[in-house]
Structure 1
Amino acid sequence: MTTPQTLDRAGIARRIPHSGSMCLLDRLEAWDAEAIHCSTASHALPDNPLRTASGLMAPNLVEYAAQAMALHGGVLAPDDAEPSAGFLASARNVRFAVDRFDDVADALQVHAKRLSGDASQVLYEFAVKDAGGRALAEGRAVVVLNTPLPPATPPSTK
Structure 2
Amino acid sequence: MNPDTAPLRHAWIAAHIPHQGTMCLLDSVLDWSPEFIRCEATSHTHPDNPLRAHGRLAAVCGIEYAAQAMAAHGAALQQPAQRPRVGYLASVRKLDLRVARLDDIAAPLRVEAHRISGSESNILYAFEVSAAGQLLLAGRAAVILDVPLSPVD
What is the TM-score of this pair, normalised by structure 2? 0.94
Counterpart residue number, 1:90: 91
Counterpart residue number, 1:143: 143
Q: Percent identity?
A: 47
d(CA) in 2 for partners of 1:83, 1:18: 14
Of 49-58 and 2-11, deviating more is 2-11
Instruction: Verify the 8 A CA contact 1:110 1:129 in the aligned structure 2.
Output: yes
What are the superposed Cα offsets for residues 103-129 of structure 1, whole Å, 9 maximum, x if unpaired?
Answer: 101100000000000110000000000
Output the amino acid matched with 2:144.
V
Structure 1 residue 84 displacement after superposition: 2.6
Output the amino acid matched with 1:111.
E
Structure 1 gap ranges (5+) = 154-158
Distance 1:82 1:52, change over 3 A: farther
d(CA) in 2 for partners of 1:93, 1:146: 25
What is the TM-score of this pair, normalised by structure 1? 0.91
Counterpart residue number, 1:76: 77
Structure 1 residue 83 displacement after superposition: 3.7
Aligned length: 151
What are the superposed Cα offsets for residues 117-153 of structure 1, whole Å, 9 maximum, x if unpaired?
Answer: 01100000000001x2111110100000111221112
Please tell me the root mean square deviation across aligned C-alpha atoms, in Å. 1.2
Structure 1 residue 69 displacement after superposition: 0.4
Higher radius of gyration, 1 or 2: 1
Output the amino acid matched with 2:149.
L
SS of the residue corresponding to residue 70 of structure 1 reads: helix
Distance 1:72 1:80, change over 3 A: same
Structure 1 residue 59 displacement after superposition: 1.0
Instruction: Verify the 8 A CA contact 1:17 1:84 in the aligned structure 2.
Output: no
Output the amino acid matched with 1:25.
L
d(CA) in 1 for partners of 2:80, 2:49: 29
- TM alignment of 1:55-66, pairs within 5 A: 55-66=56-67
Structure 2 gap ranges (5+) = none
